[in-house]
């Protein structure tokens, strides 16, 4: 990690709630970088693919070159966190209509698995490794219908996977950036990116 400043974490800024992620990252002492073009991936310690509309984000990632760029970043060991639409994009397959996918996690995703906008809800989640429940904010949320080898399930609702991680990837079906609880951001920085608090 360079010594001349805080680590840089990219937030895909094509569409969706990237500003909320950036605000939490700043509070945790890292520098958020709004990623819109391929060159924005250079020098990043990790990247977040935020919530939004997964089909729209996927098409914009294709046209900007960021779909292949983030894949390359990931397969070279770069940490990735997908929230809501980002969880859809991270999956290897979807039950819904065909759309561009990053295919970073061996999982089958159900888009809008918990219903449409009017079915949005909040619930307390038991999360592997957390001492206290985490408030999950679900907005047109997906879930993983099935996961393959190498995927560690962190949280479920009625057997439906809503948080999981792999070697250098984290996914959440909900929106931690819409809460005041930084534990998932801390988890991503510490355990996925390998960024430790500076004394």
Locate tokens 């996925």: which residue?
192
Q: Please tell me what DSSP assigns to residue 23.
A: H
Active-site positions read 84, 175, 177
HSE-CB of 176 using CA atoms within 13 angstroms? 29
Locate tokens 């560690």: which residue?
152
Considering only the C-alpha atoms of the chain, give the largest distance between any 2 of them, rounded to a whole number of Å: 48
DSSP string, 133-192: -EEEEESS--EEEEE-TT-EEEEEETTEEEEEEETTEEEESS-GGGSS--HHHHHIIIII
C-alpha 45/C-alpha 28 separation (Å) is 14
C-alpha 197/C-alpha 199 separation (Å) is 6
């Amino acid at each position: 990690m360079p010594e001349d400043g805080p680590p840089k974490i990219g937030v895909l800024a094509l569409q969706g709630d990237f500003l909320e992620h950036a605000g939490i990252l700043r509070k945790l002492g890292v520098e958020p970088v709004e990623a819109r073009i391929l060159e924005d991936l250079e020098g990043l310690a990790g990247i977040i693919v935020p919530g939004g509309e997964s089909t729209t984000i996927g098409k914009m990632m294709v046209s900007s070159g960021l779909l292949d760029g983030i894949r390359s970043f990931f397969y070279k060991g770069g940490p990735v966190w997908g929230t809501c639409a980002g969880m859809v994009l991270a999956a290897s397959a979807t039950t819904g209509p065909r759309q561009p996918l990053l295919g970073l996690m061996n999982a089958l995703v159900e888009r809008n698995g918990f219903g449409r906008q009017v079915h949005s809800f909040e619930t307390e989640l038991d999360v592997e490794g957390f001492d206290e429940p985490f408030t999950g904010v679900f907005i047109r949320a997906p879930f993983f219908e099935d996961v393959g080898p190498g995927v560690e399930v962190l949280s479920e609702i009625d057997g439906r996977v809503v948080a999981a991680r792999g070697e250098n990837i984290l996914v959440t079906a909900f929106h931690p950036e819409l809460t005041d609880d930084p534990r998932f951001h801390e988890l991503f920085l510490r355990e996925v990116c390998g960024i430790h608090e500076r004394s």
